[in-house]
Chain A
């Protein structure tokens, strides 16, 4: 295994992680809710819809963060390498998969592991493993 030292950003990534943890702490302390993005978003699609308010507010903050960063002169520049067909397929798989799994990287990976949930540990190990496998097949076997 070769480490890509040029891309490696331990300081920034750790700092960002601490901020993500603080956001999750804030949501559970004030709203009594888990900061799981797929659950917050997916919960808006269910019926009956009773608690849309906090979900919409949280998502507005999340979507507003890059807007604010842009206004402050620090726009983000995500490098999206996937083509359109891959984007659409990936989005669909992420949508249906996270709902069946009851969580994603935030709900299981951050919040679930933090509260010592074995379910979340299994979910995180599974999506990490299938993520590694998908990239291996896509990049190294299919050469995408």
Chain B
């Protein structure tokens, strides 16, 4: 059941990205280009998504388990760190360079666009480098 709900949630998420225009990098760049002809559409995506999700989290936060009895795993970290800010800044540069963030890139990959495949392979490489650096840090601490 957990697998089915995750699959359907992913499917719904993909539909939302396609309908909203987020799956089109040119539209995302139109939003990020405030000095050109600005397309404020993505503000509406955020408002719609946050309106629904904030009500959901209001209820979810009060529960210890999900409706399927799975543990509720909502992040508990609250500290604003340098790695959060620097990581976000680096992410934003990549986002502005191509107009893809992770979700839309996976949707375009599903549609079979070669550049989306290239983007996702490079993104996985970036994530793998993070994993290796974290593991090296961990083993230095343990040594």
Asked if A and B bind, the verdict is yes
Which chain B residues border A127 with CB–CB below 8 Å? Answer: 88-89, 91-92, 95
Minimum-distance CB pairs A-B, first 7: A95-B126, A16-B20, A17-B48, A65-B14, A61-B10, A21-B52, A91-B122
A16 B21 Cβ-Cβ under 8 A? yes
Would A70 and B111 be within 8 Å (CB), given that A17-B49, A135-B96 are in contact? yes
B47-73 CB contacts (< 8 Å) to partner A: 47-57, 59-61, 65-68, 70-73
Would A37 and B103 be within 8 Å (CB), given that A15-B19, A126-B92, A130-B92 are in contact? yes
CA distance A104 to B101 in the complex (A): 7
Whether, in the assembled complex, B143 has its beta carbon less than 8 Å from a beta carbon of chain A, the answer is no
Would A97 and B99 be within 8 Å (CB), given that A14-B44, A90-B119 are in contact? no
Which chain B residues border A16 with CB–CB below 8 Å? Answer: 15-22, 45, 48
Give the size category of A's interface with B: 35 or more
CA distance A55 to B33 in the complex (A): 33
Q: How far is the CB of A143 from chain B (nearest CB, A)?
A: 12
B25 A78 Cβ-Cβ under 8 A? yes
Which label, helix, strand, loop or mixed, suits the secondary structure of the A interface? helix
Name 8 A/B residue pairs within 8 A (Cβ), A-sorted.
A10-B41, A18-B51, A28-B56, A34-B73, A57-B3, A66-B14, A76-B24, A126-B92
Would A62 and B11 be within 8 Å (CB), given that A54-B3, A126-B85 are in contact? yes
Which chain A residues border B56 with CB–CB below 8 Å? Answer: 21, 24-25, 28-29, 114
A76 B52 Cβ-Cβ under 8 A? no
Interface string of A112-143 (1 = CB under 8 A from B): 11111111001110111111111110111000
- Of the candidates B25, B30, B51, the one whose C-beta lies within 8 Å of that of A7 is B30
Interface string of B90-127 (1 = CB under 8 A from A): 11111111111111111111110101101111111111
